[in-house]
Structure 1
Amino acid sequence: MVRALVALLCLQACALAAPRAATQWPRRVRGRIINGTDASVADFPWMLSMEAAGQQWCGASVVSGSWALTAAHCVSAPYLTLRAGSSTWGSGGVVRDVSHTVIHEHFDYYAMTYDFAVLHVGHYVYRFKLQFLYAAGRYNSSTVSEPFPLGPNVQPVGLPPDGYEPPAGLPVTATGWGATEEVWYPDVLQRVDVQVLDRSVCQEHLGSIHTVTASMLCAGHEGHGACHGDSGSPLVHNGTQLGTVSWGQPACDGPAAVYGNVASVSSWIRNTTGA
């Protein structure tokens, strides 16, 4: 209980801190999956809800039985868990602790390059060690791997070949639990269909914020897109993850947004996770 309260206070402090202009999309800043629709996890079985101290935080995707992929800027919160196999955050499916994280070595928070992290799942084991026969003692903890139970609603997402460059116009779908204009956090998973755009489009609209590099993927559609709260969530085409929600305009009203370019780190994901 104390641990959860401390974590919640940390989340509130982090969330209310003023972000740099139009950097990554932080939690608890008003935004939405724009013009999205309800979705079922049965259609997106790789989708994970990342929760911090029991609160919806970011999205992630299953890449193997024991590993998930998300955005590096999502993993700073304490006490992360991943919920798989549920279309609603906070209930249903199965929950796994994040036993440890691996952030891409070239991740740069200020430039938002290589915004990737992989998460290993497990559960905590607490051991009680007596110091004296009648003393209170103390707890030591360790983690034990506990894979996702793969099935119809929990499946790894496909990874693109190294260096694959999706063509402009390719249809892609983003999913997540980012806030909508109607409610602060939608209970039900949302989806929005957009298309891959040439990086020059994001550079034109967002280049004054960050340089759009090869570790980034540009996607969008006028009036549609991902936004605050969708960070780390997957952008997919036919079951292959091409992007992770990363950053964009604070108001989420532009025609384009930036995703992590998964093909730029496919080898790193496979080598780190064994996927």
Structure 2
Amino acid sequence: AIAEPMASLGGPHTLLVWLLLLQPWLTEASEDGSATSLPPPAPSGGDAKNRTVAQPPLRGASEVPKLVEFSLGDSQRWGLFLRGSPCHPVLTPACGQVFLKILGGHDSEEGKWPWQVSLRVRNRHVCGASLVTERWVLTAGHCILRDMSSSHSRYQYSVMMGDRKLQGTLSGLVVPVSRVVVHPQFSTSGTVKNDLALLRLRYPVNFTGVIQPICIPEKTFRVQAGTRCWVTGWGRKQEFGPLVSEVLQEIDQYIMYYEKCNGLLQMALRTDKDLVQEGVICGYNSIGKDSCQGDSGGPLVCQYSTTWVQVGIVSWGVGCGRNNTPGVYTETALYAKWLVAVVNKAASLYPVVLLLLLCVVLPLGLLVTL
């Protein structure tokens, strides 16, 4: 019998096979970096059925939040300027846009807040969040670091977007979370500070009429006190009501600077300790409307012309809707540089890892061929 030669283990085809086999590992390496797994918060209710699970889209994802800058002056005359820098996304449509469906001459509720996201643990709603790019979601740091004694994997996190209902419809898009980045100086010691976190989605999402990113303002931007803005979420409607609301709620809030806010909260809690400092902004409503439990991490947004900008992240408050006790929000403008730095680092890591692997695998493939 004549011995048949074995198939070659080298050559360009082998290299291609190696890269295809190692692609999942590469993706995890690029997303994980040196980050450690973070424990999820204790579920606060809101069971939901899986609807549409995201699949990798056919186009690439932009990796940088949209930055907008406003001129100083009266709030009625502020002009919108797009920041002319390399930080602008290349493939992302204009942020902060709403595409409402018109039914019988009235605006439909669907798509009214297309950047609104539900952060979930094991498919249970725990916090609000907002979509800032095709691949990144912004939420509060305390939504992630609530139970430091447990050791759950970040892969139990997912987000739902594109639907104003927590369950019962088929239009919601569910995407698993691949990476969690909490602000390194997040703290609840004495008072809550730097309360924000970024979540990287396993797959980029395609923008639609009900899924759109919200604009993140530049650090130099400051919304004028008294401006009417909106907070949205699936949290409690009353302080002692059900844990979550089935349908997305919207509440108007009037902006208050942290200095005045600190004084009101000091009186409410009968303390002379500073409760809010620079890095937060507050919102109030004269008829007792406020964000509540389950709304944490959600966006506080203001409209300028036809563009919506996220000025705050729901952080904390004293009860819900109490008189003279404004809600406290992380001021997003002050963290714009950190947000861009995190997203840029993740975007640049994958090509580096791929290049390193090519340098290792290519010589091996050539050696086997020889």
Matched, 1:246 2:315: yes
Q: CA deviation at 1:159?
A: 0.8
Q: Write the mapping of 1:194-273 to structure 2, written as runs, cut at 5 A.
A: 194-207=253-266, 208=271, 211-222=275-286, 223-238=288-303, 239-255=308-324, 256-273=326-343
User: Which residue of 2 is the match for residue 75 of structure 1?
Assistant: 144
Q: Write the mapping of 1:82-121 to structure 2, written as runs, cut at 5 A.
A: 82-91=159-168, 92-110=171-189, 111-121=191-201
- Greater C-alpha radius of gyration: 2
Alignment TM-score, normalising by the size of structure 2: 0.56
Give the Cα–Cα distance (whole angstroms) in 1 for the partners of residues 178 and 275 of structure 2.
Answer: 33
Q: Write the mapping of 1:153-172 to structure 2, written as runs, cut at 5 A.
A: 153-172=210-229
| Contact map agreement 1:176 1:233 (CA 8 A) in 2 | yes
Cα-to-partner distance string for 1:94-145 (whole Å, 9 max, x where unaligned): 11111111111221122211101000011xxxxxxxxxxxxxxxxxxxxxxx
Alignment TM-score, normalising by the size of structure 1: 0.74
Q: For structure 1, which runs of at least 5 residues remain unmatched after alignment?
A: 1-9, 16-26, 29-38, 123-145
Cα-to-partner distance string for 1:183-212 (whole Å, 9 max, x where unaligned): 442111000011101222320122447531
Matched, 1:45 2:114: yes
Q: For structure 2, which runs of at least 5 residues remain unmatched after alignment?
A: 1-39, 46-107, 147-151, 348-370
Q: CA deviation at 1:166?
A: 1.2
Q: Write the mapping of 1:179-198 to structure 2, written as runs, cut at 5 A.
A: 179-181=236-238, 183-198=242-257
Give the Cα–Cα distance (whole angstroms) in 2 for the partners of residues 41 and 249 of structure 1.
Answer: 31
Cα-to-partner distance string for 1:49-102 (whole Å, 9 max, x where unaligned): 111112110000000000000000001375111001011113541111111111
SS of residue matched to 1:106: coil
Give the Cα–Cα distance (whole angstroms) in 1 for the partners of residues 143 and 274 of structure 2.
Answer: 18
Q: Which has the higher strand share?
A: 1
| Contact map agreement 1:218 1:259 (CA 8 A) in 2 | yes
Give the Cα–Cα distance (whole angstroms) in 2 for the partners of residues 60 and 101 of structure 1.
Answer: 13
Q: What amino acid is the match of 1:118? A: L
| Contact map agreement 2:128 2:298 (CA 8 A) in 1 | yes
| Contact map agreement 2:243 2:293 (CA 8 A) in 1 | no
* 4+ long deviations beyond 4 Å: none
Please identify, of 178-187 and 50-59, the stretch whose mean Cα deviation from structure 2 is larger.
178-187
- Quote the RMSD (CA, aligned, Å): 2.2
Q: 1:60 to 1:210 in 2, by over 3 A?
A: farther
| Contact map agreement 1:177 1:190 (CA 8 A) in 2 | yes
Q: What amino acid is the match of 1:177? A: W
% same residue: 29
SS of residue matched to 1:64: coil
Q: CA deviation at 1:151?
A: 1.1
Give the Cα–Cα distance (whole angstroms) in 1 for the partners of residues 163 and 274 of structure 2.
Answer: 35
